[in-house]
Amino acid sequence: MAKVEGDSKEPLNEQAVANIYASMKNEITQIYSKTTELEMEVSEHSLVINAISPLDPSRRCYRMIGGVLVERTIREVMPAVQRNKEGLEEVIARLTEALERKKKDVAEFETKYKIKIRKGDGEMKDESGKKEGNAQGVLVGPAGAT
C-alpha cells in the first residue's frame, strides 16, 4: 500500500490510529505510576536510614527478607538498605528517561496523524454557558412528609 502525502487518506484507518495512540498514552500512565511507586519506596528507605543511622551499629534490628523477618545488626542492615535505595534511584532515572522518549514519540505521533485532544469533560454543555456541577447527593424531604 503506497502512502500519499498531502492526501486525506492515512496508511492506517482511524480506529487503528486511535488504538495505537491510546496504547501509547496507557504506557505513559503506567510509567508514571511505576515511578511514583518507586519514589515512595525510596522515601521509605530514607526514613529507615535516618532512623537507624544514629543508633549503635551492634544493636539488633529486624529486616523483612522475602516475607521472613530476619534478625540482624544495624551494621549488617545499613549497607543493604543503602544499596537498595541507590538501585531504586537508578531505576527511577531510567524510567524517567523512558518517559521522556515515550512523550516525544506521542508528540510525533500526534503531529503525524494530526491528533488534537479536546479538553473538558462536558462541564460547559449548558446553552447559557453556566458551569454545571457533577456532584451527586441524596435529596431528603421534610421529616414526616408522605
pLDDT at 114: 87
Rounded to 10 deg, the angle between the 74-112 and 14-52 helix axes is 160
Answer whether residue 124 shows pLDDT above 60: no
Mean pLDDT computed over 109-135: 65
Judge whether 70 and 62 are in contact, CB under 8 Å: yes
pLDDT tens per residue, range 72-106: 999 999 999 999 999 999 999 999 999 999 999 99
Mean pLDDT computed over 37-66: 96
Q: What DSSP element (H or E) covers 29?
A: helix 14-52
What pTM was estimated for this model as a whole?
0.71
Amino acid at 20: I
| Exposure on the CB side of residue 141, measured as CA atoms within 13 A | 3
Answer whether residue 13 shows pLDDT above 60: yes
Answer whether residue 122 shows pLDDT above 80: no
Q: How far apart are CA 104 and CA 111, in angstroms?
A: 11
